[in-house]
Amino acid sequence: MSSLSKVALMALSIAFSIVLFMTLDALILSKVIHTNQGDCYRKKPFGFYELAENCIGKAGWGNVHYDIYTDQHGFRVGAPKTAFKPGKQRLNSILFVGDSYTFGINGPWKDTFVGMVGESLAAATVFNAGVTSYSPTPYVYALSKAYRNGIKPNAVIVSIDISDVQDEAAKWDMVDDMPRAIYELPPPPNSLTDTLDNTFPATSLIHHFLRDKVFGHETLKKDYVWNGDNKPVLNMARSAFTYTAAEKLETCGFENLKCGYLPHGVAGGLQKIRTQMQRISELAKVNNAKLYLLIYPWPAQLAYESSVVDWEEFIAGVCAGIRCDGVINAFPHFKEFKKNNLDWYEKLYVQGDMHYSVLGNRMVADEILLFLAKH
């Protein structure tokens, strides 16, 4: 056989192997691996979304770029291929439900308060059902999903975020036990890149590894420079309801929600939180789980006196009304830190943003661990 024939045969063999691998990838591996080099989110009907199962993806926030992994339930985990056996989840397990703070949009798993709690409670199984921009209406869905998947935690910790008031007032409603966007927009179609990533997940992983690690082509990274002005963060309408009259907020045209706090208004948002937390309480009680509510301040709640709505008092009232098992309140710890640190914003928050820095997450994690140790 000539040298040319040998080269041709080798090329055909390589091509056949690649085609065979990609065929197996599409037919088999795509069923168990979801790769999305963006954010791992999967679109649902009526403007809703959730995290995809078994996802290996990437995300960025400011100058921080990190890997995201989900388990077979679509919950964020600290390492790929993490799986939990339903039969072993009752003993010493905790399920967190919340939005971007709970999900940990600020960075890698180890820098989030759920990741820190999981690291400190090595003997416990910690589930993170947090998803960006969820609020109590989607929280009901997330908790119901956990129970449907056989997860039976001893404790459920629901992070009720400051933004939940506007999200309940203007973003989410529940129809037939499924959240849907109040101002529904058709979901954008998947890009060609997303389609290829999800059709050939293992091939995509190899491609991205070669691109990012071997050849150093880091396409996700974009420099973000904070100009030192924290007024836009302190004066966001999403966190203004505690110190601003409702009628000033119930208008159209700001912060990506079509009409501010409309159609339900600030009072309607607060009432929907009470209603949906009652549903969560009933789910927890039926499944013999302790229910704890977690609260923590946005920058505005440290900068301005809560002269209209006292969030700590409101949540204490919600807990009493649904007979929850306690409130994990990080406000006092943060207020004390502010009192002793003039640069409290720079230390506690991602610069130019309302999410926590590693230190801020550490303080929330410490409050949770202290509370659990006492209960």
Give the number of domains in the chain.
Answer: 2
Which domain covers residue 147, as residue numbers? 84-183+225-374
In-domain check, residue 43: no
Residues 234 and 107 in one domain: yes
Predicted pLDDT at 188 = 45
Residues 158 and 274 in one domain: yes
What is the Rg, in whole angstroms, of the alpha carbon atoms belonging to the chain? 23
Residues 238 and 356 in one domain: yes
In-domain check, residue 243: yes
User: What is the Cα–Cα distance from 106 to 64, expressed in whole angstroms?
Assistant: 7
Residues 210 and 231 in one domain: no
- 203-262 pLDDT, tens digit each: 665 665 555 555 554 444 444 455 667 788 999 989 999 999 998 888 765 454 566 898
Residues 264 and 341 in one domain: yes
Structure tokens at 206: 């190899």
In-domain check, residue 51: no
Predicted pLDDT at 168 = 96
Helix axes of 136-148 and 265-286: crossing angle, nearest 10 degrees:
20
Instruction: Kindly report the average pLDDT of the chain as a whole number.
Output: 84
Number of Cβ within 10 Å of residue 209's Cβ equals: 11
- 159-217 pLDDT, tens digit each: 999 999 999 999 999 988 899 998 754 444 555 565 666 666 666 656 655 555 555 54
CB 328 within 8 A of CB 368: yes
Q: Domain containing 357 — which CATH number?
A: 3.40.50.1110
> Does pLDDT of 96 surpass 50?
yes
Residues 237 and 364 in one domain: yes
> Does pLDDT of 95 surpass 80?
yes
Residues 254 and 336 in one domain: yes
User: What is the Cα–Cα distance from 78 to 128, expressed in whole angstroms?
Assistant: 10
- 62-73 pLDDT, tens digit each: 778 899 999 999
> Does pLDDT of 82 surpass 80?
no
The string of DSSP letters for 32-99 reads: H-EEESS--EEE-GGG-EEEPTTEEEEEEETTEEEEEEE-TTS-EESSTT----GGGSSTTEEEEE-S
Residues 204 and 291 in one domain: no
User: What is the Cα–Cα distance from 356 to 112, expressed in whole angstroms?
Assistant: 9
Residue 220 carries which side chain, given as an amino acid letter? L
- 331-342 pLDDT, tens digit each: 999 999 999 999
DSSP 287: T
User: What is the Cα–Cα distance from 125 to 148, expressed in whole angstroms?
Assistant: 18
In-domain check, residue 72: no
Predicted pLDDT at 191 = 53
CA angle, residues 224, 226, 232, in degrees to nearest 5 = 120
Question: How would you classify the pairing of strands 55-61 and 34-36?
Answer: parallel
CB 94 within 8 A of CB 121: yes
CB 38 within 8 A of CB 67: no
Residues 101 and 16 in one domain: no
Residues 281 and 310 in one domain: yes
